[in-house]
Amino acid sequence: MSAGSFASPRYEPRLSAASSLQAIAGFNDDPLPLDIHVHPEIEVGIVLTGEEWILFGGVAMVCAPGDVWLCAMWEPHGWEIRPPHTRNVVLKFMPEFLGDASGGDMSWLAPFLAPAIYRPRVTSTALRRKVLALGRWLRREVEERRSAWEQVVRVELLHLLIELGRDWESAGLSPPTKRVRLNALARLMPALSLAHSFPWRRVSVREAAAACGLSPSQFQNLFREAMGASFGAFCLRTRLAVAAHQALHTQLPMIAIAEETGFVDDSHLHHCFVKHYGCTPAQYRERTQAAAQGPAMP
């Protein structure tokens, strides 16, 4: 695997406030086994050559050239390189990287808030050609890193999300999410930093609101408007992601994982895990390990 490929630690550190984008031009000469990881950034990946298998919560997608995967913040996901000479471009970014950028009538965040299986996919030859062209342009910018390359990536990433969103909207799958306001995201960054810095414990609404200089009610309204979910739901998803990571990469009993990730007990973790992932933590561990033997869907 070349130095430019995107293999990374299974539990990755968050980007800093000063650097809200990580861009990787990946190339693999040889197949790679399944690797599952989690990080606080949004992730967008495009396969340019070869084939990549992406796993979200036990559901697998085989991505061919021109296919895209969209990963939400703190969402456990895995990747596996099947054939040799697979080439891709991967962008990981904090929400403020796109901020209040216009994506038409729909927030650019909307696809990431939908369940993984319902997110936009490339379904037409025309869209696949556009995505490949955008992907090659993005990869060139990432590799060369010329002056203002991050600004170019920002524009082309938004272009990609708009193209994906067009078909998604026409299919009636997009939720009625408001547009993101940059000043709202900037105001909420102290709360997001709290959730990112302490993903294993509960961060109260009062604590998060105080960090942002807002009243609890102001904070909750602003957070839901900007992020499409309540702060409590966002933090719960964060802690569940850490619990899922622990279930996969440690031998800790579930009661210990529950304690480490701020749940009352293992039954509380069990209940929340089933509601969010559709399976128990033990089943998640078993299914993910079994999924390494082959994709679950074409």
Quote the CA–CA distance of 190 and 204 in Å, as a whole number: 13
Report the run of H or E that residue 32 belongs to, with start and end. strand 32-37
| Architecture category of domain 21-170 in CATH | Sandwich (2.60)
| The pLDDT value given to residue 181 | 59
Question: How many residues in total does the chain contain?
Answer: 298
Residue 173: pLDDT over 90:
no
Integer-rounded Cα Rg, in Å, for the chain is: 19
| The pLDDT value given to residue 234 | 84
Answer yes or no: are the C-beta atoms of 54 and 69 closer than 8 Å. yes
Query: Can you give the pTM of this predicted structure?
Result: 0.71
pLDDT band at 160 (very low <50, low <70, confident <90, very high): very high
Domain 182-291: give its CATH code.
Answer: 1.10.10.60
pLDDT band at 284 (very low <50, low <70, confident <90, very high): confident
Question: How many helices and strands (H and E) does the chain possess?
Answer: 10, 8
Highest mean pLDDT among 33-37, 177-181, 194-198, 254-258: 254-258
The residues spanned by each domain of the chain are: 21-170, 182-291
Average pLDDT over residues 118-132: 92
Answer yes or no: are the C-beta atoms of 200 and 40 closer than 8 Å. no
pLDDT top residue among 29 and 280: 280
Answer yes or no: are the C-beta atoms of 26 and 5 closer than 8 Å. yes
- Edge-to-edge order in the sheet of strand 32-37: 32-37, 77-81, 52-56, 59-63
| The pLDDT value given to residue 33 | 62
Cβ neighbours around 162 below 10 Å, total: 15
pLDDT band at 245 (very low <50, low <70, confident <90, very high): confident
pLDDT top residue among 3 and 270: 270
pLDDT band at 105 (very low <50, low <70, confident <90, very high): low
Quote the CA–CA distance of 106 and 83 in Å, as a whole number: 36
Query: Exposure pattern of 119-148 as b/e (b: 16+ CB <10 Å)?
Result: bbbbeeeebbebbbebbebbbebbeeeeee
Instruction: Specify the range with the lowest mean pLDDT, choosing from 141-150, 154-163, 199-208, 259-268.
Output: 199-208
Answer yes or no: are the C-beta atoms of 98 and 185 closer than 8 Å. no
| The pLDDT value given to residue 2 | 30
Read off the tokens for 158: 């938004």
| The pLDDT value given to residue 211 | 93
